[in-house]
Amino acid sequence: MKRTIVAGLVSIALASPVLAQESVEVLHWWTSGGEAAALGVLKKDLEGQGVKWNDMPVAGGGGEAAMTALRARVTAGNPPTSVQMLGFDIQDWAKQGALGDLNALAQKENWDKTVPLALQQFSKYQGKWVAAPVNIHSTNWVWANKAVLDKAGVTTMPTDFDGFLAALDKVQKAGFVGLAHGGQAWQEATVFDGVVLATGGVDFYRKAFINKDKAALGSDTMKKSFDRMAALRKYVDKDFSNRDWNLASAMVIEGKAGFQIMGDWAKGEFLNAKKVPGKDFLCFRVPGTQGMVSFNADQFGMFKVGAGSQAAQTKLASAIMNPSFQSAFNVVKGSVPARTDVSDKAFDDCGKKGMKDLAEANSKGTLVGSMAHGHAVPASVKNGFYDVITQHFNGKLDSAAAVKAMVAAAE
Ligand code: BGC
């Protein structure tokens, strides 16, 4: 409102109403090329609706650094509008009362009917939707460079663990790095998800990682899993320490290495480098885990924000849950939709396989939450497992000691 004094009279001129532009601030760890491309799909969607996007990226796969940054913001009483979150982290924040209530939108859009129950157990807290799931990833995948395998004489993809070691051996002997790997705890844990599934199967994985069963954690099967980690370690190059996961993917993309064991976000890197599945690169399940899927889902936790920010927050949640957005986004990200009603038509062969594997595993009871990515146990236990797995990988614990340490970490 503008007041002007004209010839002794006070006239009140109404300034033309300037509406503040709606905005969202989003904290996430999507900083690699493929991840940024996928995030761009969401940004563009929101900007198309007139909502300004304030980006808060915190690098570091698995989201540990992001959760630390988030803690500081919440402690200061100034949470972002929305945060990329994994499984139990959502529940931890909901327990602390930091998350909002999306039930009105969820009811209007029928989320209960379209989001798989395996995700709903993390998206909802005490009956309230607190997060919007954007995708389903899976960790038990291997990514391979086809030309490297051709040169090394690996003609068929291994279907069991020993076959995988034999293929790694051939690749290494042909002068390439066998296994591209980044030495960070969450990456070692990602490899371990697949190795434990291959070694003990789904029931064992559940007992050990979801039920924290001491007999399973302390078993010979767990020891064998660690021995297999040590076997894989021999095919990793000497510069692996602290390498980012996307740089390990780049080694496969550029034909320096044969294989990488990594979640299907790796596919986003291959696509971003204009590589074609089946022609330039291959995707297959960690040998010995066909028919099993260890999943994680990125969800956007919606924080309690002031009345002025709620409309934009609702727009963000609704955009994330839109079926055509879920197709467009996940085609780029490497993941599959977090809804059961999205067609696989736009997806490449790896994506189609991902969707089919997921549906089958869900109906057969062979779908398990990824330990490495926060869907088996809460961060308090997960971080203990991380320590043991990474110390063992770096030769600081032998397999027998690692098994004992896993039991202790579960306590
Ligand atoms: C997330 C993915 C992400 C990956 C690497 C995982 O925890 O679920 O979306 O691409 O970390 O940053």
pLDDT digits (tens, 9 = 90+) for 222-280: 999 999 999 999 999 999 999 999 999 999 999 999 999 999 999 999 999 999 999 99
Strand partners, 142: 261, 284
Here the tokens at position 129 are 């939707």
pLDDT for 348-404, tens place per residue?
999 999 999 999 999 999 999 999 999 999 999 999 999 999 999 999 999 999 999
pLDDT for 2 equals 42
Write phi, then psi, for 78 (nearest 5 degrees).
-135, 65
Q: What is the 336 CA–ligand 1 centroid distance (Å)?
A: 13
Q: Give me the residues of the chain with pLDDT under 70, please.
A: 1-19
pLDDT score at 17: 54
**Which two tokens mark 140?**
């038990």
Q: CA dihedral in degrees (53, 56, 60, 64; nearest 10)? A: -110
Equal CATH topology for 7-137+297-353 and 138-294+355-410:
yes
Determine whether 19 is exposed, middle or buried from the number of CB atoms within 10 Å of its CB (0-12, 13-18, 19+).
Answer: exposed
Give the distance (Å) from ligand 1 centre to CA of residue 28: 10
Q: Measured in angstroms, how far is the CA atom of residue 300 from the centroid of ligand 1?
A: 13
pLDDT at 18 (0 to 100): 62
The residue whose two tokens read 């990474």 is: 390
Q: Does domain 138-294+355-410 have CATH number 3.40.190.10?
A: yes
- The residue ranges of DSSP E strands in 48-140, in sequence order, are 52-57, 82-86, 124-125, 128-129, 131-133, 137-138
Locate all alpha helices (DSSP H) within 138-234, ordered by sequence.
Answer: 146-152, 161-173, 185-205, 214-217, 220-233
The DSSP bridge pattern shows strands 177-179 and 257-261 to be: parallel
Q: Give, using CA atoms, the residue closest to atom 5 of ligand 1.
A: 61
Residue of the CA atom closest to atom 4 of ligand 1:
61
Lookup: tokens for 386: 């991380």
- Coil, helix or strand at residue 100: coil
Other beta carbons within 10 Å of 300: 27
Atom of ligand 1 nearest to the CA of 31: 12
Residue 321's nearest CA partner among 85, 115, 51, 44 is: 115
Residues in the ligand 1 pocket, defined by CB under 6 Å: 29, 35, 61-63, 86, 137, 245, 265, 296, 298, 373
- Residue nearest ligand 1's atom 7 by CA: 62
Domain at 7-137+297-353: CATH code? 3.40.190.10
| Cα–ligand 1 centroid distance for 156 (angstroms) | 29
- DSSP H or E run through 278: none
| CA Rg value for the chain | 23
Give the span between the Cα atoms of 174 and 149, in whole angstroms.
9
Query: Residue ranges per domain, the chain?
Result: 7-137+297-353, 138-294+355-410
How big is the chain, counted in residues? Answer: 411
Nearest to 281 by CA among 342, 334, 223, 242: 334
Nearest Cα to Cα of residue 106 among 115, 93, 116? 115
319 alpha carbon – ligand 1 mean position (Å): 20
